[in-house]
Structure 1
């Protein structure tokens, strides 16, 4: 063969179909040297707390693994009766809720091999990015079909698929050839992609041999796998009523050319998925395999326009073309947002302008609550691809105001990539695009015969200034001689807009402090301080120079001349990374800095040094756990579980006796409560006792009986915020 396999074409533009082929290869295991032992060794990490006398009876009476608590599940799979474990693993419903699901499944696979496949299939299929590595030692048609569908993913699922295909090339070919020459559809498309990957990785001879084994016609049918030879079916745009497009010459674009442009725009699409996100199924530490979720992986921008579209677009008046694009968008929305015509959204990257971005951004915000997630992601891709100041301001606002979840993660990823195109971090981009409300260029309200300029004080309160230079709380109401009386109401609205903008910037700076987002020192000097709104806010905050580990090296204030001053009021020079100081970082210097801030009358726009805070003593930092404190209302605990980041240890409506929240550095804060709460019950007791507070690895299921991690290893600012939330949750 043999170049025909990669260079062939489809007969008459249609794929050759060979029906009736079935892969008869049985499922099996193919462990690499030492792999099974490494997986079984993870049993040591699956601690299950104190065993109870009734566990054996509970296991014997269970119909499904989901009928057991996480503690019982861990015990059963690691050291419970083998016959009971095998019986439960074979049930059709296998539903676990373990933070250590990777360890649970690795141990189950090592102990029970093929009998653990239902468990592995369920978990790897549900979260392929994080758990897809679990299929690596399994082989067979079911595994091949699963991983073939992962090749178009954005996260680590693509990496696991590639590793599996190259590890089981012959088994993969045997399982996928029947689907690759079967009826057109998703299964065929995914099988074709997987076989192309095998050929590209040097397994063409294996694929050819397997194809010949299926019959003479199969090999010929596989020539349809060439993407270069595949005929692209024609698309037909809807017969929407659209405005004409003006050319740069001022003439109208001929109707025939408009039709060609629309047809070319129907091929607007995202770029091919980027290379698989970094992942590692077997880290040197032996701990949890590294996987990157699709929503957090590099995201594809919008693919460049078709050559036909580029040629026609080049001759258009850009404003007229953008208006035409918005008309396309309006027509698609009025037509019910049909998925077949969703190319209209991506086409805005080719024809849209800043006005288009102003129209698109509110739509992107509105689509996730209406379950239009795919369209929202397309809209995010357009905003990031266009990459103007206007589009990126919208992307920043979307990312800041969305609730948590995969769509928001994609917004963050797109924003990060768009900022990187400018050589900036997201924080640096946000600083540079921060709205100024016109204060950088001067604001004037013109009544006609008289005008008032606007100034803002250090607290960002707007004042009108008359021609004599006198500052007024507001300009006088319009008189009979004023020809533009609307200016008065415009000033009042301006004051409201300035307050809202200042509040938004203040909230972002507070989030920067809590998330410890850092900026180069030169950005504070050259970007923040000269900004008419960020500057007054930044001058009233205490800044800190942080080392590469994220620990405070020294705190600094902004002096009157824009330089930095240290705790001794000496001028400090720095070119390091600066962040907004959290008071928990200051340790014994807190009181001294508080006096300095008071002496200079620096009133921060949000609570900084005076915010509620918990600081551990030296003895507490060395300890591996803290005793609880006074009882807290049960509804306060339930409120914490409703907040993003806090998790309980119960399943569904079962009792939560533990709360956990992630900390920086791969740790988690664990809070033990008694007697426990259920989030869906109105019958909780009035109060909960907090019996213990301790730190654990974030990936752990927090069932350890021995505390190993000193509290001093926790980030002091993040720990303080969580402990305060525990005291003050509504």
Structure 2
């Protein structure tokens, strides 16, 4: 191991840029008693948030350095973490290494940037462990290794022959990466100083230094599997597995079945998608980071060549039955994580019956704290990618509550849809049921039949001999040979109502999620669809520019053309980005559009222009705070806190809180300040409170600053409106 000491290695102008972030902190000027408080503090946990910020950015250096070396809780006590931590590192140098390491280890995507100026073994080992991550941590790892290649080599090369485990794997990843960017000769030269064993291991990883450019193996390449006998897991009884039929006749020999199981054990998710996400310096002086759950998710890696060889010529149905039997045995054996390859292997073996079998288990696994299994299940369903798989994925997503797993699934859905050259909304549209209405259906009694038609509200009727629409058809008579058609029609009406209700819910969710379609889909697919068409005709649609700003809203006219607010015909480019408009986006046009729809007697399928909404004025969009309101009875807070609003800054639901907050897209938070604490353990109905102000802050700022810097116009108007409607509902 290297005994190099950690030192600071700043790039030109970098330290000055980090120090300049002091202006972004919100601790305010030093208050009376702060100096005494920090002098008396034993560690940062003894200080309030503003005192911590002031101390690290501008307070007595001696006290700051003393406390930095004594606390284990810095990652919880440092507010406004990205900016304050960068200021502390720039100001206090190597003494801030514990702060940087604690923050980066706790939140590598957000705070991995803190390691960049530190050159030493500890940062090397930490950065090497991020190369397999999905989010911005991988970007920080690469930037650190490229910037400090020689110290990284001295710190990590010896570990390439260490004990098998994460440390050795991380070292090997880092060595491969350094070799891939041209540091192969330096790595081999470094390895020579650690003995023949290390030298041989590095050559095996990066190739010999023979003057010839040797291709570097992929970063996460798996060494060739040596031939070996199948070690049967205790939960697997080979004799109970169904036989795999061959298309040429007969069944797969037992020896080949064993080889197939061995080859399937290499089934895994693919390597992290490239490139590593994020931007080191964003437009406002802060890194633009992407959390792992927001990043593109890994799909299933291609099947091992041995798997491909063995399953060629197999009957696909019997192969899928064999795969499901493996999953059943694995579940019966207690779902051992070391054999979770069984789940991923279904991407190579499965069919639609596998999808129907696996999807309910994937939906249930998170409730049993098997989150990684659920993620692998999403990847498998995406890899199979059939209509049945997409239907299950969409159904799982619709039943999920918001959160990181929900976002992961949405990323998977987007990737699976992109594989079809579509958006998620387009795929869901094409999977919407038609119930046979597209081909035309009749109520057929045999000697007589009646056409089945639907109205704009998707109510089914039969058309009588005179053309009159009948909600209930004539009952079959003695001469009718197909009396079963009558109960069929009654069931059809129920199925149509259920299908319409499901599509209404989905399209309303599309409005909130801001899912988009190309404009050509509205007239070319949605309007002709027998179920989606009557819904789409009664909605207001919006064209959006590349910056997600509404260009104009349009409605579907009686002849199927598009019309704007002035009733002028609009022709949209087929590639124009179209969404279902949320009323908060219509601004001053909302009242006019409501009047237009009323004039044409258009009854919308769900509340859109008449939906409760908060449409901010230009002055309010430019403002950094909105006025509060009150009084609010204590028990009114119970419902929002149990919904998507949260009490600020406490770890249990029984702690008093003085703020409400909810997440907004784009890394923002909407907050409501209260005049006095609310206790969730005992809602005194007689107690009254006031909300003193409403404001928007960065999600990572910890919301302790007195200044309000973010205008409401920076927030997503749809999410803001929905949240403000809920908040203003507290007034009763």
What is the TM-score normalised by the length of structure 2?
Answer: 0.88
Residue in structure 1 matched with residue 211 of structure 2 by the alignment: none
Query: Quick check: 1:253 aligned with 2:233?
Result: no
Alignment of 1:191-206 (within 5 A): 191-206=171-186
Residue in structure 2 matched with residue 423 of structure 1 by the alignment: 421
Residue in structure 1 matched with residue 209 of structure 2 by the alignment: none
Alignment of 1:314-393 (within 5 A): 314-393=312-391
Q: Is the 8 A contact 1:155 1:276 kept in 2?
A: no
Residue in structure 2 matched with residue 36 of structure 1 by the alignment: 15
Residue in structure 1 matched with residue 611 of structure 2 by the alignment: 611
Assess, with a 3 A threshold, how the Cα gap between structure 1 residues 456 and 242 changes in structure 2: closer, same or farther: farther
- SS of 1:691's partner is strand
Residue in structure 2 matched with residue 721 of structure 1 by the alignment: 722
Query: Quick check: 1:45 aligned with 2:24?
Result: yes
Assess, with a 3 A threshold, how the Cα gap between structure 1 residues 67 and 183 changes in structure 2: closer, same or farther: same
CA–CA separation in structure 1 for the residues paired with 2:268 and 2:617: 57
Q: Is the 8 A contact 1:274 1:299 kept in 2?
A: yes
Q: Is the 8 A contact 1:649 1:659 kept in 2?
A: no
1:86 Cα deviation from its structure 2 partner: 2.6
Q: Is the 8 A contact 2:695 2:708 kept in 1?
A: yes
1:70 corresponds, among 49, 62, 65, to 49
- SS of 2:615's partner is coil
Residue in structure 1 matched with residue 437 of structure 2 by the alignment: 439
Q: Is the 8 A contact 2:665 2:719 kept in 1?
A: yes
Q: Which has the higher mean CA deviation after the structures are superposed, 426-435 or 663-672?
A: 663-672
1:489 Cα deviation from its structure 2 partner: 5.8
CA–CA separation in structure 2 for the residues paired with 1:67 and 1:684: 35
- SS of 2:626's partner is strand
Q: Which has the higher mean CA deviation after the structures are superposed, 711-720 or 187-196?
A: 711-720
CA–CA separation in structure 1 for the residues paired with 2:224 and 2:120: 32
Assess, with a 3 A threshold, how the Cα gap between structure 1 residues 224 and 475 changes in structure 2: closer, same or farther: farther
1:276 Cα deviation from its structure 2 partner: 4.0
Residue in structure 2 matched with residue 632 of structure 1 by the alignment: 632
CA–CA separation in structure 2 for the residues paired with 1:491 and 1:403: 36
Assess, with a 3 A threshold, how the Cα gap between structure 1 residues 601 and 178 changes in structure 2: closer, same or farther: same
1:564 Cα deviation from its structure 2 partner: 0.9
Alignment of 1:365-514 (within 5 A): 365-442=363-440, 454-463=452-461, 471-474=469-472, 491-514=489-512
1:354 Cα deviation from its structure 2 partner: 1.4
CA–CA separation in structure 2 for the residues paired with 1:363 and 1:229: 29
Residue in structure 1 matched with residue 241 of structure 2 by the alignment: 242
CA–CA separation in structure 1 for the residues paired with 2:280 and 2:713: 31
Per-residue CA deviations over 1:678-725 (Å, capped at 9, x if unaligned) read 556667983321112334455544445454555455554443322211
Per-residue CA deviations over 1:458-484 (Å, capped at 9, x if unaligned) read 212334567887655456778999998
**Count of matched residue pairs:** 708
1:491 Cα deviation from its structure 2 partner: 4.9
Q: Which has the higher mean CA deviation after the structures are superposed, 277-286 or 519-528?
A: 277-286
Q: Which has the higher mean CA deviation after the structures are superposed, 88-97 or 184-193?
A: 88-97
Q: Is the 8 A contact 1:65 1:95 kept in 2?
A: no
Per-residue CA deviations over 1:272-323 (Å, capped at 9, x if unaligned) read 222242222233542x212211222222221222223223322122222222
Assess, with a 3 A threshold, how the Cα gap between structure 1 residues 41 and 392 changes in structure 2: closer, same or farther: same
- SS of 2:296's partner is coil
Q: Is the 8 A contact 2:188 2:202 kept in 1?
A: no
Alignment of 1:596-675 (within 5 A): 596-617=596-617, 619-621=619-621, 623-637=623-637, 639-644=639-644, 648-649=648-649, 656-663=657-664, 668-675=669-676
Query: Quick check: 1:686 aligned with 2:687?
Result: yes
- SS of 1:675's partner is strand
Residue in structure 2 matched with residue 301 of structure 1 by the alignment: 299
Assess, with a 3 A threshold, how the Cα gap between structure 1 residues 706 and 410 changes in structure 2: closer, same or farther: closer
Residue in structure 2 matched with residue 168 of structure 1 by the alignment: 148
CA–CA separation in structure 1 for the residues paired with 2:280 and 2:553: 41
Q: Is the 8 A contact 2:647 2:658 kept in 1?
A: no
- SS of 1:692's partner is strand
Residue in structure 2 matched with residue 268 of structure 1 by the alignment: 267
Q: Which has the higher mean CA deviation after the structures are superposed, 422-431 or 46-55?
A: 46-55
- SS of 2:74's partner is coil
Q: Is the 8 A contact 1:361 1:394 kept in 2?
A: yes
Q: Which has the higher mean CA deviation after the structures are superposed, 381-390 or 68-77?
A: 68-77
Query: Quick check: 1:214 aligned with 2:212?
Result: no
Measured on the aligned residues, the alpha-carbon RMSD in Å equals 3.2
CA–CA separation in structure 1 for the residues paired with 2:383 and 2:537: 35
CA–CA separation in structure 2 for the residues paired with 1:62 and 1:678: 29
Residue in structure 2 matched with residue 14 of structure 1 by the alignment: none
1:538 Cα deviation from its structure 2 partner: 0.9
Q: Is the 8 A contact 2:52 2:78 kept in 1?
A: no
Alignment of 1:57-206 (within 5 A): 57-89=36-68, 90-96=70-76, 100-206=80-186
Structure 2: runs of 5 or more not aligned: 207-216
CA–CA separation in structure 2 for the residues paired with 1:412 and 1:570: 37
Residue in structure 2 matched with residue 12 of structure 1 by the alignment: none
- SS of 2:76's partner is coil
Q: Which has the higher mean CA deviation after the structures are superposed, 304-313 or 618-627?
A: 618-627
CA–CA separation in structure 2 for the residues paired with 1:270 and 1:261: 18
Per-residue CA deviations over 1:238-294 (Å, capped at 9, x if unaligned) read 3341111222234333333333333322222222222242222233542x2122112
Residue in structure 2 matched with residue 591 of structure 1 by the alignment: 591
Q: Is the 8 A contact 2:157 2:191 kept in 1?
A: yes
Assess, with a 3 A threshold, how the Cα gap between structure 1 residues 229 and 344 changes in structure 2: closer, same or farther: closer
Q: Is the 8 A contact 1:646 1:660 kept in 2?
A: yes
Per-residue CA deviations over 1:565-600 (Å, capped at 9, x if unaligned) read 222323222223332223333344333322221222
1:604 Cα deviation from its structure 2 partner: 1.2
CA–CA separation in structure 2 for the residues paired with 1:682 and 1:62: 36
Residue in structure 2 matched with residue 527 of structure 1 by the alignment: 525
Q: Is the 8 A contact 1:181 1:222 kept in 2?
A: no
